[in-house]
């Protein structure tokens, strides 16, 4: 059990190497919220994977900062002794805000595991020293620009390419990319909820291109629509935004809405629930992979630990630091032969560089006992 003395909230802004466009918007700067927990044993870091605006999910940086400051951090500090496995129980009275809760849980996990000299991967049950990785490619102004970018990523060694799609940037674009890279390259698409049930016939055209999966074509709460599409489509349907817990994952699989699951720890409320989603999918023989949210090296380290679990059999969106940032907060992560190394040090196995952290910080505040 651990006693928390204070929690620090730190807003940062990190320019991206290039604009990253999806069906819900374009990002050129990664605005993020970091959480530092100080305990009687050690300190730990968490990363809240919310965006600047409520477009991917209803959570965003300002809302996460507010709920952490006013409700979540004070509740956790008030607990006389708390274990990271108890965080969700302690915070259960505050509805929703999974990404904010997940960041606080991540920071406490990091602190506790540093105190016991155990890595996050070992704690979660990881079995791999390296994990296969792919790259997520945003929407470009033209197909030639897109293909140039893909050629560069394939030269970097990524094992598969994920293409963001939306109305007007889907079937024709995918056909052009498949013609260019051939059928030996793993290719999948991600709609980020851009389509509706009225588009099912249109989406069936994606069956022609040997895709690994079609990720989240419909709204997050439309499990029935995804089940209807899955029944008609030969390409597996992968759910992302729909999966908010292990129970939802089990329900979606049971009704035929998901043949593959993308696990994002922040979206389900933390790495402990992410492990439960993994376990449910493994029991139901459904493959999973680890999604990305433009994380800094802190979140990237945690995602590598998660992706080292045995059920993560598909390359995840855990790209090299240089894919998004000129300088990462931590020692840069690199791709080696299509894989990335799982950190083995205590806790996350990485920590922010103090000089870089200070440069990118825009605001800090502390919540104390």
Give the tokens for residue 305: 């630990």
pTM of the model: 0.96
What pLDDT, on a 0 to 100 scale, did the predictor assign at position 46? 98
Q: How many CB atoms lie within 10 A of CB 259?
A: 19
Encode pLDDT of 84-113 as tens digits.
899 999 999 999 999 999 999 999 999 999
What pLDDT, on a 0 to 100 scale, did the predictor assign at position 19? 87
Give the tokens for residue 10: 């730190």
Encode pLDDT of 262-306 as tens digits.
999 999 999 999 999 999 999 999 999 999 999 999 999 999 999
Cβ neighbours of residue 354 closer than 8 Å, sequence gap 6 or more: none
Which are the catalytic amino acids? 164, 264
pLDDT band, very low/low/confident/very high, at 25 (cuts 50, 70, 90):
confident
pLDDT band, very low/low/confident/very high, at 21 (cuts 50, 70, 90):
confident
Note the helical H segments in the chain.
61-67, 73-78, 87-90, 98-116, 120-124, 143-155, 171-181, 200-203, 223-232, 246-254, 265-268, 271-283, 297-307, 321-324, 354-360
Q: Which residue has the tokens 């809240």?
A: 48
What pLDDT, on a 0 to 100 scale, did the predictor assign at position 48? 98
Average of per-residue pLDDT across 141-166: 96
CA 183, distance to chain mean position in Å, is 27
Give the tokens for residue 17: 């190497």
Q: What is the torsional sign of CA 34, 39, 43, 44?
A: negative
Average of per-residue pLDDT across 139-153: 96
- Name the residue among 288, 307, 289, 310 with its Cα closest to residue 299: 307
Average of per-residue pLDDT across 331-344: 97
Do 295 and 49 meet the contact criterion of CB atoms below 8 Å apart? yes
Cβ neighbours of residue 1 closer than 8 Å, sequence gap 6 or more: 81, 82, 83
Q: Mean pLDDT across the chain, nearest whole number? A: 96
Average of per-residue pLDDT across 133-151: 96
Give the whole-angstrom CA distance, residue 126 versus residue 274: 13
Average of per-residue pLDDT across 343-350: 98
Q: Residue 336's beta-bridge partner residues?
A: 339
Encode pLDDT of 68-87 as tens digits.
999 999 999 998 788 889 99
Average of per-residue pLDDT across 228-240: 98
| Superfamily of domain covering 122-341 | Enolase-like C-terminal domain (3.20.20.120)
Asked if pLDDT for residue 342 goes beyond 80, the answer is: yes
Exposed / middle / buried, residue 353 (Cβ in 10 Å: 0-12, 13-18, 19+): middle
What pLDDT, on a 0 to 100 scale, did the predictor assign at position 81? 84
- Domains in the chain: boundaries: 4-117+353-368, 122-341
Asked if pLDDT for residue 143 goes beyond 90, the answer is: yes
Q: For the ranges 22-31, 133-142, 167-176, 239-248, which has the lowest average pLDDT? A: 22-31
Q: Which residue has the tokens 């374009």?
A: 26
What is the domain class of 4-117+353-368 according to CATH?
alpha beta
What pLDDT, on a 0 to 100 scale, did the predictor assign at position 3? 85
Do 52 and 363 meet the contact criterion of CB atoms below 8 Å apart? no
Give the whole-angstrom CA distance, residue 225 versus residue 265: 25
Give the whole-angstrom CA distance, residue 277 versus residue 36: 26
Q: What is the torsional sign of CA 133, 353, 106, 349?
A: positive
What pLDDT, on a 0 to 100 scale, did the predictor assign at position 1? 67
Cβ neighbours of residue 13 closer than 8 Å, sequence gap 6 or more: 29, 30, 31, 32, 360, 362
């Amino acid at each position: 059990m651990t006693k928390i003395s204070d929690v620090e909230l730190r807003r940062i802004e990190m320019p991206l190497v290039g604009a990253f466009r999806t069906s819900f918007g374009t990002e050129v700067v990664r605005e993020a919220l970091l959480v530092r927990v100080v305990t009687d044993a050690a300190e730990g870091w968490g990363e809240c994977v919310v965006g600047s605006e409520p477009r991917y999910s209803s959570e965003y940086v300002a809302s996460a900062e507010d709920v952490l400051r006013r409700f979540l951090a004070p509740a956790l500090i008030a607990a006389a002794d708390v274990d990271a496995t108890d965080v969700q129980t302690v915070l259960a009275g505050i509805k929703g805000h999974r990404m904010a809760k997940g960041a606080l849980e991540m920071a406490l996990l990091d602190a506790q595991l540093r105190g016991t000299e155990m890595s996050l991967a070992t704690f979660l049950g990881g079995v791999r020293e390296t994990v296969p990785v792919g790259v997520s490619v945003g929407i470009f102004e033209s197909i030639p620009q897109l293909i140039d970018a893909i050629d560069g990523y394939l030269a970097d060694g990524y094992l598969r390419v994920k293409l963001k799609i939306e109305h007007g940037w889907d079937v024709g674009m995918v056909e052009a990319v498949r013609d260019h890279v051939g059928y030996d390259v793993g290719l999948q698409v991600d709609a980020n909820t851009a389509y509706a049930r009225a588009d099912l016939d249109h989406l069936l055209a994606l069956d022609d291109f040997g895709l690994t999966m079609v990720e989240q074509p419909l709204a997050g709460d439309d499990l029935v629509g995804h089940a209807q599409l899955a029944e008609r489509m030969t390409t597996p349907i992968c759910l992302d935004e729909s999966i908010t817990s292990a129970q939802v994952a089990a329900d979606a699989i049971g009704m035929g809405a998901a043949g593959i699951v993308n696990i994002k720890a922040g979206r389900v409320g933390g790495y402990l629930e992410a492990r439960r989603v993994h376990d449910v999918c493994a029991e139901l023989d459904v493959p999973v992979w680890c999604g990305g949210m433009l994380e800094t090296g802190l979140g990237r380290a945690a995602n590598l630990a998660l992706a080292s679990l045995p059920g993560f059999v598909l390359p995840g969106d855990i790209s090299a630091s240089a894919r998004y940032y000129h300088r990462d907060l931590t020692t840069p992560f690199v791709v080696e032969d299509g894989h990335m190394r799982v950190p083995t040090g205590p806790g996350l196995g990485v920590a922010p560089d103090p000089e870089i952290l200070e440069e990118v910080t825009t605001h800090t505040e502390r919540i104390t006992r």
